């Protein structure tokens, strides 16, 4: 089989090494599909694939609105809101892998093929 650079690049873009080795989702799995679903305004599909793009957009909107409306509030809540966003993302990553390994519920659909 002839492996040129474009085939290797295409393989790396479509296959997650973490998923291939450990047979669980990495925190970024489904991110690209989530962005494409957001572009098509399919919010629930986007959140199911990976909540990070949707939550980041919501966080940015809140951050911009609070910064314009109340600059002092923005300083106080910046780190707290980043902590909540990061914690939520990690919890979602753990929960979707527990659903996959324990009950066979595959939210992204990569292991059901």
Q: Check: CB of residue 100 under 8 Å from CB of residue 25.
A: yes
pLDDT at 72: 65
Average pLDDT, rounded, for the chain: 82
Is this model's pTM higher than 0.85 or not? no
At residue 37, does pLDDT exceed 80? yes
With beta carbons less than 8 A apart as the criterion, state whether 33 and 50 touch.
Answer: yes
Q: Given a cut of 60, is residue 9 above it in pLDDT?
A: yes
- pLDDT higher for 7 or 41? 41
Average pLDDT rounded to a whole number, residues 3-21:
74
Whole-number Å distance between alpha carbons of 72 and 38: 32
* Half-sphere CA count of 48, side-chain side, radius 13 A: 11
Cα–Cα distance for residue pair 59/57, rounded to 1 Å: 5
Report pLDDT digits (tens) over 52-76.
898 888 888 877 777 666 666 666 6
- Give the count of beta carbons closer than 10 Å to the beta carbon of residue 48: 17
User: Quick one: average pLDDT of 87-102?
Assistant: 91
Residue whose tokens read 């296959």: 15
Question: What percent of the chain stands above pLDDT 90?
Answer: 19
* pLDDT, greater one: 8 or 37: 37
Query: What pLDDT is stored for residue 17 in this prediction?
Result: 81
Domain regions of the chain by residue span: 16-103
């Amino acid at each position: 089989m002839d492996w040129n650079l474009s085939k290797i690049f295409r393989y790396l873009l479509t296959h997650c090494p973490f998923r291939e080795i450990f047979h669980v989702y990495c925190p970024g799995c489904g991110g690209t599909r989530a962005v494409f679903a957001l572009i098509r305004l399919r919010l629930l599909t986007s959140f199911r694939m990976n909540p990070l793009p949707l939550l980041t957009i919501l966080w940015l909107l809140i951050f911009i609105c609070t910064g314009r409306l109340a600059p002092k509030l923005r300083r106080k809540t910046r780190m707290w809101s980043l902590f909540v966003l990061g914690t939520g993302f990690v919890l979602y990553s753990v929960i979707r892998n527990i659903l996959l390994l324990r009950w066979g519920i595959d939210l992204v659909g990569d292991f059901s093929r």
